[in-house]
Amino acid sequence: MTKQGKLIIFSAPSGAGKTTIVKHLLTKFPELEFSVSATTRPRRGDEENDKAYHFISKEEFLHLIAKKEFVEFEEVYSGTFYGTLRTEIERIWKKGKTVIFDIDVEGGLHLKRKYDGQAMAIFVQPPSLEVLKERLTARGTDSGEKLKERFIKAEKELNYAPRFDIILKNYDLQTACAEAEKLVKNFIANDCIA
C-alpha cells in the first residue's frame, strides 16, 4: 500500500481565482503536484488532455464510478461530472509529493473530511458576488443558461466558507498568491495550518 502523504485543497466558486493561485503555487513549490481530475465536460481553450483534466465520456465516467475508482465525484453542473481518481492521489504520494487540488466547494469539503489530519483546506473568497459574476462573464467561456447555472452555484457556495480551515481573500491576486505561498510553505515544512 502507498504511504499516505499530505493534501492541499483549494476550493471556491467558479471565477474566484483558485486555478490561477494553484498554477502559481505549482511554479513555486516542486514538492507539489496537481491532482488531475476526470471530467465529462468538453475541453475549453488551450486545455490539454491529461494536464488540465482527464477528458472522458459520460459512459467512461459511469464505468469508473461503478468500479469505485473515485475518492469523490460530483455532478457539478447538470449533466457534467467531475471527480478525483484514487490512482491520481496514490501516483503523487508515491513520488513523495503533496497533492494540490483545484476542486469545487462540496468536493473540497468531502476530501477534507476523508483525509482529516492530512489535509489543509483553503476557501478562496472573491471580493463579492457581483465581482464574481463580472469575472465569469468577462471570461467568456460560458454563456446563457450555463453562465446562469454558474452564478446560482457560486452564490450558494459562498456560504460554505466557514467550513474550511482557511479563508483566503482574493481581492488582489498578487497579495492572495503571496499569502497562499506562506500557507503552503508552513504546511509543507511544519504540518501547520495557518
- Counted residue by residue, the chain has a size of 194
Between 56 and 188, CB nearer to ligand 5GP:
56
Between 61 and 187, CB nearer to ligand 5GP:
61
Between 44 and 192, CB nearer to ligand 5GP:
44
Between 80 and 186, CB nearer to ligand 5GP:
80
Smallest gap, in angstroms, from Cβ of residue 11 to ligand 5GP?
7
| Contacts to ligand 5GP by CB under 6 A | 14, 37, 41, 72, 74, 76, 82-84, 102-104, 107
Smallest gap, in angstroms, from Cβ of residue 142 to ligand 5GP?
8
Give me the residue whose beta carbon is nearest to ligand 5GP. Answer: 107
Between 86 and 185, CB nearer to ligand 5GP:
86
First to last CA, the chain: 30
Smallest gap, in angstroms, from Cβ of residue 192 to ligand 5GP?
25
Smallest gap, in angstroms, from Cβ of residue 30 to ligand 5GP?
23
Smallest gap, in angstroms, from Cβ of residue 38 to ligand 5GP?
7
